[in-house]
Amino acid sequence: MNERNPRLSQDPKRESGPRPNSGWDSERRMRDIEATPFPSHAVQLLDDRARQHANRPFLNFFDDQDVLSYGDVSHLTRRLANGLSSRGIGKGTHVAVMVDTSRTYPLTWLALSRLGTVTIPVNYRYTPRELDFVLRDSQATHLVICSDFLTVLDGISNGAPLPRDNTIVAGNDVTGYVNWQNLFDENEMGRTDQSSPDLDSPMNIQYTSGTTGFPKGAVLSHRYWLTFSRNGAAQFQDRLNRILVSQPFYYVDAQWLTLMACWTGATAFVARQMHSSRILGWMREHRLEYCNFPEIVARQPARGDDFLPDLVAMSCYSHRPENFPLYEKRYGGAARQGFSMTELGCVLYVPMEAKEMTGSGTVGIPVAFREIDIRDSAGRSVADGQSGEICVRGPGIFQGYFNNPEATTKAFHKGGWFRTGDLGRCNAEGWFWYLGRQKDMVRRSNENISAVEVEQILRGVAEVLESAVVPVPDTTRGEEVKAYLILVPGTATGPELISKIFSHCDENLAPYKIPRYLEFINEFPRTPSQKIKKSDLLSDKDDLTTGAWDRVQNQWN
């Protein structure tokens, strides 16, 4: 899948390892995936599993004590599809969905997908302005919304951009709106004659994080979701039977994890909200084998019951990779990271067998159906060990940004290579490393400084929970490095801590990379996917040095 010619590594760092095609089971599994036909569409996968094991638990909403079997979900989504069809919703209709984490989202999403309808997931924390943008930009004609969020819809200043009759309300019965539950009750025996979708029918318009402004709507097909979820199951050797879903369904993680469970007949244990303080308790209580592991959990003092005997694997995105061996010893299971994004699904993974690479910082090797290359700004491949933009192509990536051909064109090099906007490098053995966003750099005295690298070092200070590094304009050096820090609760921001932070930087960073400015804050502005929204940090005040500790002047500004 990788077009690179093997040759000796030019990278002197610890980035060597076994060649990815060294006979591992995961490599054979990826080849088998490419050779095996997919179901005819995403919901066909659910129906296949329902025929195989109808009574097996599929979705366990443990906070609500609500458990749905594979047979339940298959049956209920057929009934709901009939009810939705009776409201004029069919193949190609655009339906926005703004609901909380409960059975409502997955049943609605899968029912709409049966009809070939396009779902637009909406962040239920959106303001009226943001909801109005998504409804108009996606050209949604219908909306499914929880009754708790109707105040947001009512708050749109120029009026809701869709008819009241096209709004379906889940939760409390509200006069004047279609009731979501009634769509089941009225269609127990109904049947729809709608034609089924195919693999390349659009299934979602998924809005990206929008770290630099309004988000763009990525068009994701049934093939995209089947590719994403099949690769997800394969990277964990198809071993997972009990997985934790703690992300909201408007984000891609909960959606692909739900479909990933289908591939192995697993049970997805769905938390109503993410609580870092409760995640280990959930893992023990439900004997869970997989979770997306928050770094803040590992910051807590060790306890005698930290080891989780049922844990198979934990995804550790954005963690300090040198901590992975410690995680494995403390919690059990394999600590793995990879590389994915909304437009592409899974791209790179570290195989479960690749124990030699644990702690190396690699984000792995290509999954099935994905070619990866590192390219310069002109779209030319760079040499092994050299940094450049991570570019990806292959079947089942997004179909473009909805109603935005200019952005779609800019997103690709010739030959169908999608430009991720992320920096990376690859060694001669075919292992890839993620180096940060192209624009997430500080240019100080003609030196390029990776914000990701500096952030990882800062998080190595015990008192630092999270960090965000941004450039600050400087008349002498062009830009200076500023770090925003969130501290462990109860930590004093006095001279002793500041000295400790800079001493740690001195030991781990070249002098030009060490932040000049430090600012301590209580919380970060975030995107819908919970990434730190640095554009808001940069626009928060006219002078970014105000309120920060200046290392050069040795004082608060």
Question: In this predicted model, what pLDDT tens digit does every residue of 21-61 receive, in sequence order?
Answer: 554 577 788 889 999 999 999 999 999 999 999 999 999 99
Q: Are 481 and 452 in contact (CB under 8 A)?
A: no
Beta-bridged to residue 206, according to DSSP, are 218
Q: Are 402 and 138 in contact (CB under 8 A)?
A: yes
**Bridging pattern class, strands 447-450 and 441-444:** antiparallel
pTM over 0.75: yes
d(CA 498, CA 551): 9
What is the dihedral angle through the alpha carbons of 310, 311, 312, 313, rounded to the nearest 10 degrees? 170
Domain 69-203+211-221 grouped into CATH 3.40.50.980: yes
d(CA 138, CA 403): 8
Radius of gyration of the chain (CA): 24
| 278-326 tens-digit pLDDT | 999 999 999 999 999 988 898 888 999 999 999 999 999 878 899 999 9
Burial class (CB in 10 A: 0-12, 13-18, 19+), 465: middle
Given phi > 0 = left and psi -120 to 50 = alpha, else beta, which region is 256? Answer: alpha
d(CA 227, CA 345): 8
d(CA 444, CA 481): 8
Beta-bridged to residue 547, according to DSSP, are none
Q: Are 484 and 467 in contact (CB under 8 A)?
A: yes
Quote the distance between the C-alpha of residue 437 and its chain's center: 15
Q: What is the DSSP string of 341-395?
A: ETTTEEEEE--TT-GGGTTS-EEEEE-TT-EEEEE-TTSPBPPTT--EEEEEE-T
Q: Are 28 and 442 in contact (CB under 8 A)?
A: no
Q: Are 279 and 246 in contact (CB under 8 A)?
A: yes
Q: Are 134 and 121 in contact (CB under 8 A)?
A: no
DSSP secondary structure code for residue 509 in this structure? S
d(CA 262, CA 264): 6
Identity of the amino acid at 155: G
Collapsed DSSP state (helix, strand, coil) of residue 54: coil
Residues constituting the chain? 557
- In order along its 557 residues, the chain shows pLDDT tens digits of 333 332 222 233 334 555 565 545 777 888 899 999 999 999 999 999 999 999 999 999 999 999 999 999 999 999 999 999 999 999 999 999 999 999 999 999 999 999 999 999 999 988 898 899 999 999 999 999 999 999 999 999 888 789 999 999 999 989 989 999 999 986 655 555 567 899 999 999 999 865 445 689 999 999 999 999 999 999 999 999 999 999 999 999 999 999 999 999 999 999 999 888 899 999 999 999 999 998 889 888 899 999 999 999 999 987 889 999 999 999 999 999 999 999 999 999 999 999 999 999 999 999 999 999 999 989 999 999 999 999 999 999 999 999 999 999 999 999 999 999 999 999 999 999 998 888 788 988 877 788 888 998 999 999 999 999 999 998 888 899 999 999 999 999 999 999 999 999 998 888 889 999 999 999 999 876 677 888 889 888 989 999 999 999 999 99
The alpha-helical segments, DSSP class H, found in 155-289 are 180-185, 222-235, 252-264, 279-285
| 417-442 tens-digit pLDDT | 999 999 999 999 999 999 888 878 89
Collapsed DSSP state (helix, strand, coil) of residue 511: helix
| Token output for 549 | 């500790």
Sign of torsion, CA 342 347 352 357?
negative
Burial class (CB in 10 A: 0-12, 13-18, 19+), 511: exposed
Q: Are 226 and 46 in contact (CB under 8 A)?
A: no
Q: Name the CATH code of domain 364-439 (choices 3.30.1110.20, 3.10.20.30, 3.40.50.1000, 2.30.38.10).
A: 2.30.38.10
| Token output for 194 | 């709608």
What is the dihedral angle through the alpha carbons of 449, 451, 452, 456, rounded to the nearest 10 degrees? 100
Q: List the CATH code of the domain at 444-556.
A: 3.30.300.30
Domain layout of the chain by residue ranges: 69-203+211-221, 364-439, 444-556
